[in-house]
Amino acid sequence: MKKTLSAIMAVLMVVAGASAFAGGSKDSGKITIGANIYNFADNFMNGVMKPELERYAAEKGAKIEIVDSEGQQAKLNDQIDVFITKKVSVLAINLVDPAAAKTIIEKAKKANIPLVLFNKEATETGAMASYDKVWYVGTNSAESGIIQGEMMLADWKANPSWDKNKDGVVQYVMLKGEPGHPDAEARTKYSVKVFTDAGIKVQQLALEADPNWSTQHGNDKMAAWLTSSFAKDIELVICNNDGMAFGAINALKAAGVKLPLYGVDALDQALSHIAAGEMNGTVLNDGVNQARATLDLAINAAMAKPVTEGTAWKLAADGTKAVRVPYVAVTPKNYKDFQKK
């Protein structure tokens, strides 16, 4: 019985494989994808990833439904139950709480539905290994912090006037994203580690985190720092993402202060701020390719094919079942290459 079944499966898989991937196969037309964004209020997730998930699903001829989890993990758990009841072919999930992946993986496993997690990597040990049909699409979080740090270090060295008090130490403020989010933790750590690794001392004057990575947070915290006792000591503003950087820029403008400032994501607005000399650099977080990889893997998984088959994606060699899309430095020299033509 087992033998016959696997023989039939093998034939089916060859047939499915023969219809290929380029331009959307006939098979993918029957695929329904249940997806979410952890919070539609997030600039990067709503502005870059969501539109490309919709566009690329349409290009592939697959049906996608994307719901807003409104920053609530409990809401996402319910949304998964609804997708399972609707019998979606595959789940593409952006965790709200990176430490709550196990619950979702268990639900998918029980329903035997493949699951692609994207953007927020599961932090619970053993979560990814607990189901053979779960994969991750995101980045190597540390890379964004290192690239941001390298840009800042090069500019710091090239601009001796940035060391306002001439003590050789970088007095910085940090706008951090969601505590516990691998991207936020790694960017916060590695951006300044680049300085200390190069033998340059740093001093953190203030750090404030926001689970929603929001412009409002950036504005409010920067405004408060600019009226604090250490206001005149600030030499560098480090932002875990562009959304918070935009808020900091508003606050700086309102106070009539100019400071070196860096973000991550390379949103269109960030490129305009670089053009206007209001931002010194950002790091491309390639949401377009992350969205495409998410759906390529999801569609393959729904068709019971090896997830990267017929695609340009490769699973990382570290056994994490992850596709990691590279980050790219965006500076006043090359930002034009990233602007939409």
- Closest residue by Cα to residue 120 from 62, 36, 57, 63: 36
- CA-CA-CA-CA torsion for 45, 51, 56, 61, nearest 10 degrees? 120
Cα separation, 144 vs 6, whole angstroms: 44
CB count within 10 Å of CB 290 equals 22
Q: Which of ligand GAL, Ca ion, none does 176 bind, CB closer than 5 to 8 A by kind? A: none
233 binds Ca ion (CB under 5 A): no
Task: Give the residue, chosen from 241, 269, 280, 282, that forms a contact with ligand GAL under the rule CB under 6 A.
Answer: 241
Taking the least distance from each CB to Ca ion, the nearer of 79 and 171 is 171
Would you count residue 167 as binding Ca ion (CB under 5 A)?
Answer: yes
Contact 272, 278 (CB under 8 A): no
Find the binder of Ca ion among 165, 272, 334, 339 (CB under 5 A): 165
Instruction: Among 121, 235, 265, 278, indicate the residue that binds ligand GAL (CB under 6 A).
Output: 265
User: Cβ of 15: how many Cβ atoms within 10 Å?
Assistant: 10
Q: How far is the CB of 201 from Ca ion (least distance, A)?
A: 9
The region of 22-30, 41-49, 62-70, 252-260 touching ligand GAL under the rule CB under 6 A is 41-49
What residue 225 binds from ligand GAL, Ca ion, none (CB within 5 to 8 A, per partner kind)?
Answer: none
Question: Which residue lies nearer to ligand GAL by CB, 28 or 69?
Answer: 69
Q: Which does residue 89 touch among ligand GAL, Ca ion, none (CB within 5 to 8 A, set by kind)?
A: none
Cβ distance 260 to 236 under 8 Å?
yes
Give every CB contact of residue 281 below 8 A, 6+ residues apart in sequence.
148, 151, 152, 155, 262, 263, 274, 329, 330, 331, 332
Which span sits near ligand GAL by CB under 6 A: 55-63, 175-183, 189-197, 222-230?
A: 175-183
Q: Which residue has the tokens 């720092």?
A: 225
Say how far apart CA 89 and CA 83 lie, in whole Å. 9
Judged by CB under 6 A, the chain residues 182 through 201 that form the site for ligand GAL are 183
- The contact set with ligand GAL (CB under 6 A) reads 38, 42, 44-45, 119-120, 177, 181, 183, 213, 241, 243, 264-265, 285
